[in-house]
Structure 1
Amino acid sequence: MLGINDPGIYLGYLFSILGLIACIVYGILNWNKGRETDIEEIQKDLEWESKDELTKGEI
């Protein structure tokens, strides 16, 4: 079939297509997750950044 005699080639194609589908499903399910929405967490990060020496330009 299609001039390919080795079943390993078919498995390679199959796994690459399954991997593509798995990545697409994972991306759709986790599209907007991971963003900080807690006000206290955002405030802590802003305070930490204001105390950080590298963000002030003092190297």
Structure 2
Amino acid sequence: MFGLEGFGVIMGFVLTLLSTLICIIYGAKNWNHGHLDENEVDRKQAWLEEEQELEEQL
């Protein structure tokens, strides 16, 4: 079958294609999802502002 010898070689080929397809679907599904919710974004912004104020005082 397609010059592939042995069941293990065929399964390796099939599993490689299957995992590639799963990764593509996962990536397409989560393409533009942010990693931070709004609460975390607000906390990060407050931390950055506080950090900038501290650096200005030095």
Q: TM-score range by the shorter chain?
A: 0.5 to 0.7
For normalisation by structure 1, the TM-score amounts to 0.65
Aligned residues: 52
* Residues 1:28 and 2:28 aligned together: yes
Amino acid at match of 2:26: Y
For normalisation by structure 2, the TM-score amounts to 0.65
Cα drift, residue 4 of structure 1: 2.7
Q: Deviations over 1:5-58 (max 9, x none)?
A: 2110000000000000000000011111124463x5423202213445xxx5xx
If each structure's helix is expressed as a fraction of its own residues, which one has the higher value? 2
Unaligned 5+ segments in structure 1 are none
Q: Give percent identity, aligned residues only.
A: 29
CA RMSD of aligned residues (A): 2.2
Unaligned 5+ segments in structure 2 are none
Correspondence list, 1:9-48, <5 A: 9-36=9-36, 38=38, 40-48=39-47
